[in-house]
């Protein structure tokens, strides 16, 4: 079962990033050539989960903070230079999850810059980019 999950993981992450990259609400006509596709991805193992938190990313040299909240979440994405900080916390549900922070020129070249282990507690997971 674990082997199957690890084989499907890159496909799931890629599909999420592709779908979200082309969502009309995420398209920005002022995308800079240096912008990368940035992703916060939640891989869920179980029945139900609700997560919330925030993401701080940098675009055009400015920090942008986005509040994150989803039921049975899969992910969010943004265009910018890099993700500076992410905090995610399970607020309800019986599922465990793993957090991935992705950065790349596009969905095909996106690589995880952070990958948590499996988390089943309601303690927050915090990612901070190393300077």
Q: What is the pLDDT of residues 23-34, one digit of tens each?
A: 444 444 455 667
- The phi and psi torsions of 119 (rounded to 5 degrees) equal -120, 125
Q: Could you say which residues of the chain have pLDDT below 50?
A: 6, 11, 17, 19, 21-29
Give dist(CA 81, CA 84) in Å, integer.
9
Please give the pLDDT value at position 119: 96
Please give the pLDDT value at position 78: 93
pTM of the entire predicted model: 0.73
Report the candidate in 40, 95, 99 with the shortest Cα–Cα distance to residue 72. Answer: 95
Please give the pLDDT value at position 19: 47
């Amino acid at each position: 079962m674990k082997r199957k999950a690890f084989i499907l993981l890159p496909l799931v992450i890629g599909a999420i990033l592709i779908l979200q990259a082309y969502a009309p609400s995420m398209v920005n006509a002022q995308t800079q050539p240096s912008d990368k596709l940035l992703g916060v991805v939640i891989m869920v193992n179980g029945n139900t989960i609700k997560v919330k938190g925030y993401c701080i990313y940098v675009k055009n040299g400015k920090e942008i903070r986005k509040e994150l909240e989803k039921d049975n979440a899969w992910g969010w994405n943004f265009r910018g230079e890099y993700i500076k900080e992410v905090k995610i916390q399970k607020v309800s549900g019986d599922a465990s999850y793993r957090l991935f922070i992705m950065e790349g020129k596009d969905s095909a070249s996106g690589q995880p810059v952070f990958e948590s282990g499996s988390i089943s507690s309601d303690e927050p997971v915090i990612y901070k980019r190393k300077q």
